[in-house]
Structures are given as structure tokens and as C-alpha cells.
Amino acid sequence: MTSYNSFAYYYDQMMADVDYNYWLHQVKENVQIGSRVLDVGCGTGTLSLALTDAGYAVTGLDLSADMLVVASEKAKDAGVAIDLIQRDMRELEGLSGYDGILIAVDSLNYLETEADVIRTFAGCYEALKAGGVLIFDVHTPFKMRETFKDYLYVENDDALTYIWHVEEGEQPLSVVHELTIFARAEDGSYVRTVEYHEQRTFEMHEYKAWLDECGFRVVNLTGDEDRQLFVVRKVGRDDE
């Protein structure tokens, strides 16, 4: 699974259009304020901070140490305390007692195999209290096949220029994001960085089957041709 490195320090600027209020609303709609929430793939901590401000007890988890450095600095600047854990989302062993788990902004699509997705769902199941809620979104097959086809985006300003190019991946319903970043240094020169990030999605009926296998019931499924949002509740498994 790919982790963010240099990209972490430009992430907030490059992802400025993400509607974090939408995600905050989804949590408020499904998890009682004051509850414990695990923000999986928390990145630079923007959503974790918003959830904390809203009254939740938040733990942020991310694979990237660089992302967590930025998140820690932002929490310190905001004067709030957030537990931050560096860990792969497939390895949630030892975490428990959460009322809600959030895997936002297509973070789950960094898992490239069926086994990895099932393992992550199973880990979320164990980390949640009985009746706890898991909220996540995924790219649709249409987005992988059509929206990302020959995708090229360029953003240019004085401090940061980046080129985002997407190519078809080797696995079914997968893509490779090539990010070329030119960041302006203090002396006025530009530092070039290139990162590659692989993502994969699956058919929605497959996600539903795996959730059911792990002991979740789908509460709500919404979205559009590019993205689907799942809200699911821990209800138990047949073998328990």
C-alpha cells in the first residue's frame, strides 16, 4: 500500500477543494457527539481537528509519518490534543472501544486486494463497540474506467506547481496517480518531486458481501457515478 512522503507537506494546498464539512455532517448524523471516533487515513489531521472541535474524542491513524508530523503541528497550533498513531489500516489489532470509525476521501482505495479490504473491515469490526458505525467512501468502477481515463490536471501558482496524471493500473479497476510537484524554495528556485500512488476499487456488490461477511449491516449507501459513501453498523457475525 502506498504512503505519502513529500506530498504530505503540500497535501492541504493540493486538496483545498475537499468538503470536510460533508464528512463532519456524516459523522454527526450517525455517531453521537462526545463519542470516541477513529479517523483512519487521517492524513494531515484536518478532519480529526474538525471532529475534535465538534466534541468527539478522536484518534487519528495514518501510514505516513510525514502526514502525522503535519497533523501534530496543526493540533499543537490549534491548542488541542489528538492521539495520533502511525499504522497501516490493515493492522488495527489492539484498538477497541470506538463508537465510530471513519475512512474518508477514498483512503480505502489504497488497498489493492480483496484480502486487504476484508482484513481492514474485520479490524474495524473488532475496534468498534457493539452497534458502532463505520463510514467510508470508495471510487466507483465508472470513475476508474471513464473519469480517470487520460486524466491530466495542472495547477500553477508562485509557491507551488503540480501536474497530476492518471494512468490505468495493472490490476482490474486500478489506476496509478503520477504527481509531479514543483515547490518554490526560499532562494526562489524550484524543487521537483515525483510520487506515484496506486489505487484500486471493486464492484459495490463485492464491498457489500465483504461487509456482511465481517458482521456489518449497510445502513445507508449514497453517492453518484464517481463516488459511493457507505454507512454501516456492527451487528454481529453468524459464528459469534
| pLDDT band at 186; cut points 50, 70, 90 | confident
Q: What is the pTM of this model?
A: 0.94
Distances (CA, A) of 227 to 79, 126, 191: 34, 26, 33
CB 207, CB 117: distance < 8 Å: yes
CATH of the domain spanning 6-140+202-234: 3.40.50.150
Mean pLDDT of 173-187: 93
> What nine digits make up the cell of 188?
526562489
Task: Answer yes or no: is pLDDT of 91 > 60.
Answer: yes
Q: Which residue has the higher pLDDT, 1 or 126?
A: 126
pLDDT digits (tens, 9 = 90+) for 32-80: 999 999 999 999 999 999 999 999 999 999 999 999 999 999 999 999 9
Q: What 3-state class would DSSP assign to 80?
A: coil
| CATH number for the domain formed by residue range(s) 142-200 | 2.20.25.110
Q: Where are the domains of the chain?
A: 6-140+202-234, 142-200
Which residue carries 501510514 as its cell? 63
Residues 6 or more apart whose Cβ sits within 8 Å of residue 169: 175, 176, 198, 199, 200
Spell out the residues 6+ positions from residue 133 whose beta carbon is closer than 8 angstroms to its own.
Answer: 30, 31, 99, 100, 101, 219, 231, 232, 233, 234
Give the pLDDT band (50/70/90) at residue 13.
Answer: confident
Q: In the predicted model, is pLDDT for residue 148 greater than 80?
A: yes
Burial class (CB in 10 A: 0-12, 13-18, 19+), 34: exposed
Give residue 79's pLDDT: 94
